[in-house]
């Protein structure tokens, strides 16, 4: 290995979007056979930097060299040809095509009158064997597990002979155990002479896999540390830039049973979504639902937001059986925070005030005989905007122009304020409430949930972020393949045990215990 | 070339879009006029003159605008909920047919009703026929996920054949001597003239009134809010507890009824009987009108006037210079495409070169 | 009942029935393949109805002005391609609504054809005619299918030959893979160095060329003149047939022939003077198309990115 020539050199990269400087004069080197971690919060400029490297964006200033050769900017093809491979957080795979199709795309000249599929297949199997990444080339991607899909993504890059691999938040969708297996793969890759950029905001895994850590904050490179010379605390401070103390839970007395699920089944299109689910959430407590994405959390959230009907079993709030109708849930003062702010949370093209009042527009407070009382709805919105500190230029602008954090505050406000008076919600259902938010907004959301619980609300938080659950939840239950494990007190939970349950090994054994815990 | 989302919010741009679109359209179509061998300036002048130049011209334009306002509203209200009703043409014919079935078939005995009641019944029947014709595609879209564009388009052909069948059969005019037309409407039921010695009828008032009513519904009612929310983001609308399915079906009924009323207006205000060529594509022109209006119900009034003027003006112009009156259809089609682009540019900025 | 079955077998056994069926099927095969190519790349092309009109008109006009028949076909294809380019510019480059842009292209192509026809022939009462493609009578000697093929023209054979060709291109070439990928996951395709905009543009143009040919078949083979309403919803039927065919070329052929057989059968029934008004028979094709959509609705595996505009750098 040639130690003197870096695999990758970024020199003075600057990228602006309007007034925002997404990358500010960033210079960075990646050594051959090295794992470099790129650490930073959401919005720190990691994605922009990688997009520039991969040719999705062109930098306003600066240049990039790969193995000493300048890289043509703004051209994914050039990056691929130079040996840069990318594994996206949201896999860039076509579900309806085979693994081989997905790998083969773009590796042959487009105008070739035939495809050399047999040779390609042999080469794919060879590459897979060399790096220990077994997959079936003929399987449809839709039939693969998340871990297998990630392997296909890595194989796609390796098949093209990538020397530099960029992994964007690769563990976000994996169980702790699957993550371990990914780390082992990374070790193999590095041993074979590849260089890896590992993008993450999780401190533990950064410390675990990388040789060096580059910390980005507000678009600037604040520090590059050798991993062995740094600590978690130091990295956290570098990443956040100020000491933000995230609120944590305090022991509270729990009140009456609010949410009661027992033996709930739900299926859609012949596919079981929820399988014999039982759970109790009491007033004043926060229950966290952990799990790898796609194990039924969305269905559980839909059930508790009134958009999915249970086929059998009992669903009740404060003793009242609930129907699958969002208005019933809203009427029972259930505050619902959806996972996808843009697609489900707001109607982006409609003004902020209509979005704020949308859940209750049919109630007498906001309409009379089908006619909207615009004045009342606007007044309600103004109060909400002030109370929840939503920053905007006016309540008549379309909701889509709000930033992620402000949009989430608007949704929080809509869910938590009940028509002006300060009635606490009976139940809060929050699905990934802090996804994609910066740490200030995360703290705000956590504060809101904790305050609501202290005021007597029952809170259910669904999250893929274990740190979040361990910080605020009183009890944690794990979802796996539509089944829900027992909700155990956070004090008694270890990350290892939760991780195992997320991979499915413990969920079935403890099924009997769930009734007990309830 | 690439598109960059505009972060600032500019309601004013929406006002300029149609003006720019129409100017570009007239510029492009000037090339065709020149190709047909006519002087461009004179042709456009004649066209304008034919539409607005005299009392008669203006009256003809207003007469033509009447069904166009209604089909334009039908498209605008449906598109607002992202229900792509391309079937206004068929709904118009069925509306006309139903109006005659109620108002022309009784022969003085079957429906022994007082005149105002019969008149109301005739109008209601036309609206209901159009509404029901769209209910099927809307239901199939909701329950089966069948694309409503294709179904409403195909049903236009079925509707026209149905009309043709009725004109050959039970609704055949015995006095027409083999000419395919329906029995005539009871003369008592015909809409009265709005302007003397012209063909402008009270249907125009009905159309304008409905435009205002639709605007009020969209702007100030909970149904209107649901309509807009479902169209802009149906998942978010469902999450907020809005009745998505009911809203789409109600919207379909409203849209189909408006198109059906266009048929009623044509029969009661102009032709007094149904023929298979009574609409020169009013239903399709309605889509263009809705787009030109930016789906705004009051904008539909202006856009319909524009399209009517182009059509009436082109007829009159083509009699003087050798430019076929099909130029009107070309202008309308081009206006649709330029308006689409202009609307897009109010939300995105074109950037040339690299990212 | 026995009578009916006997009649049915008589009909299915007669060469003339299958001659008629293939004749009806040809424009549907070409049009359906055209729509299929566009949709596989993720673009709905409702311009088809108008593009068929334009292809029918321009192909015929070229031949009327002295070009030979194949040049006429070429002209129809080129004109189809130009309208395809317009549709691509609107929907792929500018990302406007594919539904509305397609309707706009249909309205434009239809009205331009009518306009150009009137400019070219200001005063004709009966439509002028050309000498159309002759049936391939040399094929009459072939066993079994000889009599059926002998009633067809070269354009029908071309349409049938295009089915395996399109299938091969889609499933066995790098370009076909790229085309399917941009219709499934354009961002992934871009990430692997495929120019999504270029591939989609090419697919829409290629599909529109086939639509132009479908139109030309009507004026240069099925008939020998151009009428204003000659397409009469055939384009929309093709859009429905693609759903019925689950976006597969082989099934598209099957669907088009099946559909045409029904159409040919209803024509016979109509000529035989059934008890029902003739309009009922004429409605059948449209109602059948809707039925096909309903039957396939639940099972349809749409290309995942169909009707989803792709804007670079937007997630």
Supply C113's token pair: 């054809």
Q: Residue A508: pLDDT above 90?
A: no
Q: Residue A512: pLDDT above 50?
A: no
Q: Is the ipTM of this complex over 0.90?
A: yes
Distances (CA, A) of B110 to B115, B118, B124, B128, B184: 13, 12, 18, 20, 16
Better pLDDT: C34 or C13? C34
**Alpha carbon distance C102, C92 (integer Å):** 12
Q: Residue B270: pLDDT above 80?
A: yes
CB contact under 8 A, C115 and B154: no
φ, ψ for residue B25, nearest 5 deg? -60, -50
- Can you give the pLDDT at residue B7? 66
The whole-number average pLDDT for the span C126-136 is 90
**Alpha carbon distance C87, C207 (integer Å):** 11
Tokens 């109370």 identify what position?
A: A387
**Alpha carbon distance B263, B89 (integer Å):** 9
For chain C, the helix, strand and coil percentages under 3-state DSSP, each to the nearest 5: 75, 0, 25
CB contact under 8 A, A105 and C189: yes
For A396-405, what is each residue's pLDDT tens digit? 999 988 888 8
Q: C298 to chain A: which residues are within 8 Å by CB?
A: none
Cβ burial of B208 (10 Å; 0-12, 13-18, 19+) is: middle
Is C313 at the interface with chain A, CB within 8 A?
yes
- Which residue from A247, A182, A240, A231 is spatially nearest to A209, judged by alpha carbons? A182
CB contact under 8 A, A370 and B221: yes
Nearest CA in chain A to C183: A94
Stated as kind and residue range, the H or E segment containing C250 is helix C249-271
Tokens 């809509």 identify what position?
A: A414
For C186-235, what is each residue's pLDDT tens digit? 999 988 889 999 999 999 999 999 999 999 999 999 999 999 999 999 99
Q: B323 to chain C: which residues are within 8 Å by CB?
A: 119
CB contact under 8 A, B2 and C313: yes
- Which residue from A198, A220, A268, A189 is spatially nearest to A37, judged by alpha carbons? A198
Supply B216's token pair: 């009020």
Q: Residue B110: pLDDT above 80?
A: no
Better pLDDT: B236 or B187? B236
Q: Residue A307: pLDDT above 70?
A: yes
For C62-110, what is each residue's pLDDT tens digit? 999 999 999 999 999 999 999 999 999 999 999 999 999 999 999 999 9
How far is B170 from chain C, CA to nearest CA, in Å? Answer: 12
Q: C185 to chain A: which residues are within 8 Å by CB?
A: 92-95
Which of A77, A94, A111 is the closest to C185 by Cβ?
A: A94
Residue B321 three-state SS: coil
- Can you give the pLDDT at residue A30? 94
Strand A257-268 to strand A69-70: parallel, antiparallel, or no bridges (unpaired)?
Answer: unpaired
- Chains touching B (at least 3 CB pairs under 8 A) are A, C
**Alpha carbon distance A290, A468 (integer Å):** 10
Q: Which residue ranges form the domains of chain B, and what is each CATH number?
A: 2-351 (1.10.3470)
Q: Which residue ranges form the domains of chain C, and what is each CATH number?
A: 24-120+150-297 (1.10.3470)
- Can you give the pLDDT at residue C315? 44
- Which residue from C43, C49, C47 is spatially nearest to C102, judged by alpha carbons? C47
- Chains touching C (at least 3 CB pairs under 8 A) are A, B
Other CB atoms within a 10 A radius of the CB of residue B14 amount to: 15
The whole-number average pLDDT for the span A109-118 is 91
CA C42, C44, C50, C53 dihedral sign is positive
pLDDT band at C151 (very low <50, low <70, confident <90, very high): confident
- Can you give the pLDDT at residue A244? 63
The whole-number average pLDDT for the span C248-276 is 87
Q: What percent of chain A has pLDDT over 70?
A: 95
- Which residue from A399, A488, A98, C97 is spatially nearest to B236, judged by alpha carbons? A399
Q: Residue A268: pLDDT above 90?
A: no
Q: What is the largest CA-CA distance in chain A?
A: 78
Supply C186's token pair: 């354009």
- Can you give the pLDDT at residue B174? 79
Q: Residue A124: pLDDT above 90?
A: yes
> In sequence order, what are the residues at sequence separation of 6 or more whose Cβ sits closer than 8 angstroms to the Cβ of residue B154?
C233, C236, C237, C240, C286, C287, C289, C290
Q: What percent of chain A has pLDDT over 90?
A: 57
Q: C101 to chain B: which residues are within 8 Å by CB?
A: 337, 340
pLDDT band at A234 (very low <50, low <70, confident <90, very high): confident
pLDDT band at A166 (very low <50, low <70, confident <90, very high): very high
CB contact under 8 A, C174 and A88: no
A-B contacts (CB, under 8 Å): 77
Supply A474's token pair: 């009183």
For A411-458, what is each residue's pLDDT tens digit? 999 998 754 455 789 999 999 998 877 777 888 899 999 999 998 999
**Alpha carbon distance C186, A91 (integer Å):** 12
CB contact under 8 A, C313 and A57: yes
Distances (CA, A) of C176 to A106, C186, C211: 11, 14, 19
For B3-20, what is each residue's pLDDT tens digit? 877 766 677 777 889 999
For B134-160, what is each residue's pLDDT tens digit? 999 999 999 998 999 999 999 999 999
CB contact under 8 A, C172 and A114: yes
Q: A115 to chain C: which residues are within 8 Å by CB?
A: 172-174, 176-177
Nearest CA in chain B to A403: B7
Is C312 at the interface with chain A, CB within 8 A?
yes
CB contact under 8 A, A401 and B7: yes
- Which residue from C103, C52, A497 is spatially nearest to B75, judged by alpha carbons? C103
Which of C172, C181, C194 is the closest to A115 by Cβ?
A: C172
A-C contacts (CB, under 8 Å): 82
Q: Which residue ranges form the domains of chain A, and what is each CATH number?
A: 8-240 (3.40.50.300), 257-333+428-433+459-518 (3.40.50.300), 335-422 (3.40.50.300)
**Alpha carbon distance B298, B16 (integer Å):** 16
Other CB atoms within a 10 A radius of the CB of residue B249 amount to: 18
């Amino acid at each position: 290995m040639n130690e003197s020539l870096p695999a990758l050199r970024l020199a003075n990269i600057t990228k602006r979007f309007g007034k925002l400087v997404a990358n500010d004069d960033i210079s960075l080197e990646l050594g051959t056979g090295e794992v470099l971690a790129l650490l930073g919060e959401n919005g720190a400029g990691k994605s922009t930097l990688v997009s520039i490297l991969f040719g999705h964006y062109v930098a306003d200033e600066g240049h990039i060299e790969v193995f000493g050769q300048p890289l043509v900017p703004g051209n994914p093809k050039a990056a691929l040809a130079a040996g840069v491979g990318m594994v996206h957080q949201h896999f860039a795979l076509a579900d309806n095509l085979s693994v081989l199709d997905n790998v083969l795309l773009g590796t042959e000249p487009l105008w070739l009158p035939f495809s050399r599929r047999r040779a390609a297949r042999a080469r794919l199997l060879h590459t897979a064997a060399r790096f220990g990444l077994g997959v079936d080339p003929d399987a449809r991607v839709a039939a693969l597990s998340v871990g297998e899909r990630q392997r296909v993504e890595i194989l796609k890059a390796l098949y093209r002979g990538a020397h530099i691999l960029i992994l964007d938040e690769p563990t976000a969708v994996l169980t702790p155990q699957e993550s371990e297996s990914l780390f082992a793969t990374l070790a193999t890759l590095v041993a074979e002479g590849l260089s890896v950029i590992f993008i993450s905001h999780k401190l533990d895994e950064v410390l675990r896999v990388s040789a060096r850590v580059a910390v980005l904050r507000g678009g600037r490179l604040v520090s590059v540390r050798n991993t062995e010379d740094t600590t978690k605390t130091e990295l956290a401070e570098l990443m956040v830039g100020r000491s933000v103390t995230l609120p944590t839970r305090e022991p509270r007395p729990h009140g009456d049973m609010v949410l009661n699920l027992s033996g709930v089944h739900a299926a859609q299109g012949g596919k079981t979504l929820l399988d014999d689910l039982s759970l109790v959430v009491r007033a004043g407590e926060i229950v966290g639902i952990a799990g790898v994405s796609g194990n039924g959390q969305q269905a559980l959230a839909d059930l508790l937001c009134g958009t999915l009907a249970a086929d059998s079993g009992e669903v009740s709030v404060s003793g009242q059986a609930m129907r699958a109708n969002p208005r019933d849930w809203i009427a029972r003062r259930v505050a619902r925070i959806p996972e996808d702010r843009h697609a489900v949370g707001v109607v982006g093209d409609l003004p902020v005030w209509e979005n704020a009042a949308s859940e209750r527009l049919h109630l007498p407070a906001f309409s009379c005989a089908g006619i909207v009382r615009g004045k009342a709805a606007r007044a309600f919105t103004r109060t909400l905007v002030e109370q929840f500190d939503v920053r905007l230029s006016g309540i008549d602008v379309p909701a889509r122009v709000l930033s992620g954090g402000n949009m989430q505050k608007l949704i929080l406000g809509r869910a938590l304020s009940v028509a002006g008076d300060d009635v606490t919600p009976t139940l809060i259902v929050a699905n990934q409430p802090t996804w994609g938010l910066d740490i200030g907004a995360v703290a705000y959301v956590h504060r809101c949930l904790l305050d609501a619980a202290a005021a007597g609300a029952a809170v259910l938080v669904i999250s893929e972020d274990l740190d979040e659950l361990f910080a605020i939840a009183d009890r944690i239950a794990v979802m796996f393949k539509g089944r829900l494990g027992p909700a155990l007190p956070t004090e008694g939970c270890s990350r290892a045990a939760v991780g195992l349950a997320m991979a499915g090994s413990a969920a079935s054994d403890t099924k009997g215990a769930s009734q007990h815990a309830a | 070339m690439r598109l960059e989302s505009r972060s600032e919010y500019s309601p004013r741009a929406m006002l300029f879009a149609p003006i720019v679109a129409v100017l570009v359209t007239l510029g492009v179509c000037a090339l065709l006029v020149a190709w047909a061998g006519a002087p461009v300036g004179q042709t456009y002048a004649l066209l304008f003159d034919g539409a607005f130049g005299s009392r008669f011209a203006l009256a003809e334009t207003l007469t033509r605008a009447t069904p166009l306002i209604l089909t334009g509203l039908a498209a605008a209200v449906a598109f607002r909920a992202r229900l792509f009703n391309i079937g206004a043409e068929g709904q118009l014919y069925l509306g006309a047919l139903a109006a005659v079935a109620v108002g022309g078939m009784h022969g003085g005995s079957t429906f022994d009703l007082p005149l105002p009641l019969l008149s109301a019944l005739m109008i209601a029947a036309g609206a209901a026929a159009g509404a029901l014709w769209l209910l099927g595609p809307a239901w199939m879209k909701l329950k089966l996920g069948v694309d409503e564009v294709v179904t409403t388009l195909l049903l236009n052909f079925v509707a026209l054949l149905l009309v043709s069948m009725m004109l050959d059969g039970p609704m055949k005019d015995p006095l027409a001597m083999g000419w395919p037309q329906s029995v005539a409407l009871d003369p008592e039921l015909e809409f009265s003239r709005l302007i003397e010695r012209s063909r402008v009828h009270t249907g125009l008032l009905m159309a304008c009134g409905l435009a205002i009513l639709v605007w009020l519904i969209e702007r100030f009612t909970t149904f209107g809010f649901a309509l807009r929310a479902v169209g802009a983001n149906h998942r978010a609308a469902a999450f907020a507890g809005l009745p998505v399915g009911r809203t789409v079906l109600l919207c379909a009924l409203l849209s189909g009824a408006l198109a059906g009323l266009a048929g009623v207006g044509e029969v009661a205000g102009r032709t007094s009987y149904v023929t298979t060529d009574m609409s020169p594509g009013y239903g399709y022109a309605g889509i263009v009108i809705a787009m030109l209006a930016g789906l705004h119900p009051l904008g539909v009034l202006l856009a319909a006037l524009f399209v009517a003027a182009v059509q009436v003006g082109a007829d009159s112009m083509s009699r003087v210079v050798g430019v076929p009156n099909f130029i009107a259809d070309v202008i309308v089609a081009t206006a649709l495409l330029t308006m689409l682009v202009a609307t897009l540019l109010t939300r995105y900025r074109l950037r040339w070169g690299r990212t | 009942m026995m009578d009916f079955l006997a009649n049915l077998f008589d009909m299915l056994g007669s060469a003339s029935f299958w001659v008629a069926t293939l004749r009806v099927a040809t424009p549907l095969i070409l049009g359906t393949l055209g729509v299929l190519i566009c949709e596989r790349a993720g673009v709905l092309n409702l311009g088809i109805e108008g593009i068929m009109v334009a292809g029918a008109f321009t192909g015929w006009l070229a031949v009327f002005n002295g070009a030979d028949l194949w040049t006429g076909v070429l002209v129809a294809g080129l004109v189809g391609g130009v309208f395809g380019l317009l549709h691509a510019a609107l929907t792929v480059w500018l990302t406007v609504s594919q539904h509305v842009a397609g309707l706009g292209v249909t309205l434009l192509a239809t009205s331009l054809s009518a306009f150009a026809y009137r400019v070219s022939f200001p005063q004709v009462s009966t439509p002028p005619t050309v000498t159309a493609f002759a049936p391939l009578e040399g094929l009459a000697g072939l066993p079994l299918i000889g009599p059926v093929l002998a009633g067809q023209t070269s354009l029908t054979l071309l349409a049938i030959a295009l089915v395996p060709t399109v299938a091969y291109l889609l499933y066995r070439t790098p370009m076909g893979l790229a085309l399917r990928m941009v219709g499934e996951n354009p961002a992934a395709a871009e990430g692997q160095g495929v120019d999504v905009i270029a591939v989609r543009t090419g697919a829409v143009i290629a599909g529109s060329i086939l639509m132009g040919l479908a139109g030309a078949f009507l004026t240069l083979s099925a008939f020998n003149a151009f009428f204003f309403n000659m397409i009469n919803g055939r384009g929309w039927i093709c859009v429905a047939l693609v759903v019925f065919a689950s976006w597969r070329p082989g099934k598209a052929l099957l669907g088009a022939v099946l559909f045409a057989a029904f159409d040919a059968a209803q024509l016979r029934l109509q000529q035989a003077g059934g008890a029902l008004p003739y309009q009922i028979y004429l409605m059948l094709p449209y109602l059948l198309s809707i039925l096909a959509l309903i039957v396939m609705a639940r099972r349809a595996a749409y290309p995942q990115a169909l009707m989803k505009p792709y804007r670079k750098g937007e997630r």
